């Protein structure tokens, strides 16, 4: 029975390639795109001062990859229009007589205009610009003032320490998440499709009249998917660690152990789907719906903490959420069961519940 199932899976190679290989490759490659880091902000300079000091400020902006100076000496009134045409994201305005006024201690102002449509980028861009300009302020106060005078102001500055991910490389976080998605798609789709296929072509009835017991029949279905999922997981993790330099800081044994309980959930869901769909196409649609819901509500792209309160509560119903946390914590922080037991217990409860419900429903349908 197990043997037969394996043969059946491998027969339809083209479809397997489309369903499994392509999304995996896409995710691995596209995970390079996942960054909210802000670089190459399109900056326009409007320098009415035109002194060595103002040019020094402009130079500070041109010397970082965070800003790309796209336009010099833009007309002040045209800033809005340039933003509407997506030609500039930020404008720095140095007013006339700026450096003279600084020297005369008249405390002049510099003006920054930023396109706020992408609020996140706007906030970060403002932060970068202010950091550069505050640097000039500090320099101006430290150099020309005689040592006898008390320092006129104090600035608390940040020294940042990024733990677990020094380079702020978002792939370290996304790729373990991809493993979760894989361990969801493959077992769920394969088990749903294979059971529905037997239904469609009528071989389920044939299996029924053989002396096989019902639980033997189901085990014969489940075990190959379990093995296949583990194989796929090993391959993807090997690729991730060797090719994408993903750091694995935790225990492989713990990961494999906890994966088992998650696979119960996803295989269970697959069997469940097969009980109320009649064609492979329907099964695929329903599975896709579960996938989209699961991925959004798992914290894969969007941190759950960012969501509104009621959606955060909904995520507790999503088994993917628990495994997403578990796998990332194991990979990045090397956390042990001591820190993960709550997530593991909830995930196991879901797994046992879903698979027993699915098996129950399947038996009822069969008999």
Partner 1 sequence: MSIIKRKTVVWSIARKEFFHIIRDPRSLTILFLMPVLQLVMFGYALKMEIQQVNLGVMDYANSPSSRQLTDYFKGSTYFKPFDFDASPDRINDLFKARKAHAVMVIPFNFDRELERDVSIPVQFIIDASDANAATTIRNYISQTLQEYNEAENRLTSLPFEIRNTIYFNPDKKSTYFFVPGIIALLLVMISAMLTSITITREKESGTMEQILVSPIRPHQIILGKVLPYIFLAFSIGMVILLIGIFLFSVPFQGSVLLLLILSTLYIITALSLGLMISTIAQTQQVAMMLALIITLLPTFMLSGFIFPIASMPRILQYITYLIPAKYYLFIARGIILKGSNLLQLLHPTLYLLIMSLVLMVVSIRKFGITLEK
Where in 315-354 is the site for partner 1 (CB under 8 A)? Answer: 325, 328-329, 332-333, 335, 339
Q: How far apart are CA 81 and CA 79, in angstroms?
A: 5
Binding residue for partner 1, selected from 170, 239, 241, 363, defined by CB under 8 A? 170
Q: How far apart are CA 344 and CA 258, in angstroms?
A: 7
Could you say which residues in the range 73-92 bind partner 1, by CB under 8 A? 79-81, 83-86
Q: How far apart are CA 10 and CA 16, in angstroms?
A: 8
Could you say which residues in the range 93-112 bind partner 1, by CB under 8 A? 98, 101-102, 105, 107-112
Q: How far apart are CA 210 and CA 203, in angstroms?
A: 11
Nearer to partner 1, 307 or 349 (CB): 307
Min dist. Cβ of residue 190 to partner 1 (A): 15
- Tell me, residue by residue from 225 to 244, as one string, x for binding to partner 1 by CB under 8 A and - for no binding: --------------------
# chain residues binding partner 1, by CB under 8 A: 107
Min dist. Cβ of residue 156 to partner 1 (A): 5
Q: Give the neighbor-by-neighbor strand order of the sheet with 90-94.
A: 67-72, 41-47, 90-94
Q: How far apart are CA 318 and CA 298, in angstroms?
A: 7
CA dihedral 73, 79, 81, 84 (to 10 degrees): 120
Nearer to partner 1, 127 or 360 (CB): 127
**By the rule CB under 8 A, 205 interacts with partner 1:** no
Min dist. Cβ of residue 23 to partner 1 (A): 7
Cβ atoms of 76 and 50 closer than 8 Å: no
- Tell me, residue by residue from 22 to 61, as one string, x for binding to partner 1 by CB under 8 A and - for no binding: xx--xx-xx-xxxxxxxxxxx-------------------
Binding residue for partner 1, selected from 147, 158, 242, 243, defined by CB under 8 A? 158
Q: Buried b vs exposed e over 16-42: b needs ≥16 C-beta within 10 Å? A: eeebbeeebeebbeebeebeeebeebb
Nearer to partner 1, 168 or 256 (CB): 168
């Amino acid at each position: 029975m197990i043997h037969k199932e394996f043969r059946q899976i491998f027969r339809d190679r083209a479809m397997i390639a489309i369903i499994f290989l392509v999304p995996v490759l896409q995710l691995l490659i596209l995970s390079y795109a996942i960054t909210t880091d802000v670089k190459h902000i399109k900056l326009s300079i409007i320098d009415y001062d035109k002194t060595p000091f103002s040019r020094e400020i402009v130079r500070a902006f041109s010397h970082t990859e965070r800003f790309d100076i796209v336009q010099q000496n833009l007309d002040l009134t045209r800033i809005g229009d340039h933003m509407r045409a997506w030609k500039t994201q930020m404008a720095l305005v140095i007013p006339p007589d700026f450096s003279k006024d600084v020297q005369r201690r008249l405390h002049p102002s510099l003006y920054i205009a930023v396109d706020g449509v992408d609020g996140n980028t706007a906030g970060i861009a403002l932060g970068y610009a202010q950091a550069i300009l505050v640097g000039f302020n500090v320099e101006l106060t430290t150099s020309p003032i005689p040592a006898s005078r008390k320092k006129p102001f104090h600035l608390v500055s940040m020294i940042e320490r990024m733990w677990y991910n020094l380079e702020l490389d978002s792939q370290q976080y996304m790729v373990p998440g991809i493993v979760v998605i894989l361990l969801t798609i493959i077992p769920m789709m394969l088990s749903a499709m294979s059971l529905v296929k037997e239904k469609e072509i009528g071989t389920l009835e044939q299996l029924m009249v053989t002396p096989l017991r019902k639980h033997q029949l189901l085990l014969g279905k489940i075990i190959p998917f379990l093995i296949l999922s583990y194989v796929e997981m090993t391959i993807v993790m090997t690729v991730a660690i060797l090719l994408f330099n993903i750091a694995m800081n935790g225990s492989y044994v713990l990961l494999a152990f906890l994966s088992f309980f998650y696979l119960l959930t996803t295989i269970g869901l697959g069997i469940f789907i097969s009980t109320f769909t009649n064609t492979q196409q329907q099964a695929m649609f329903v599975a896709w719906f579960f996938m989209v819901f699961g991925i959004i509500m798992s914290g894969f792209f969007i941190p759950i903490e960012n969501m509104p309160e009621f959606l955060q509560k909904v995520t507790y119903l999503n088994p993917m959420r628990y495994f997403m946390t578990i796998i990332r914590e194991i990979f990045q922080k090397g956390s042990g069961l001591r820190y993960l037991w709550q997530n593991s217990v909830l995930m196991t409860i879901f797994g046992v519940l879903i698979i027993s419900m699915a098996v129950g429903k399947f038996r009822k349908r069969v008999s």
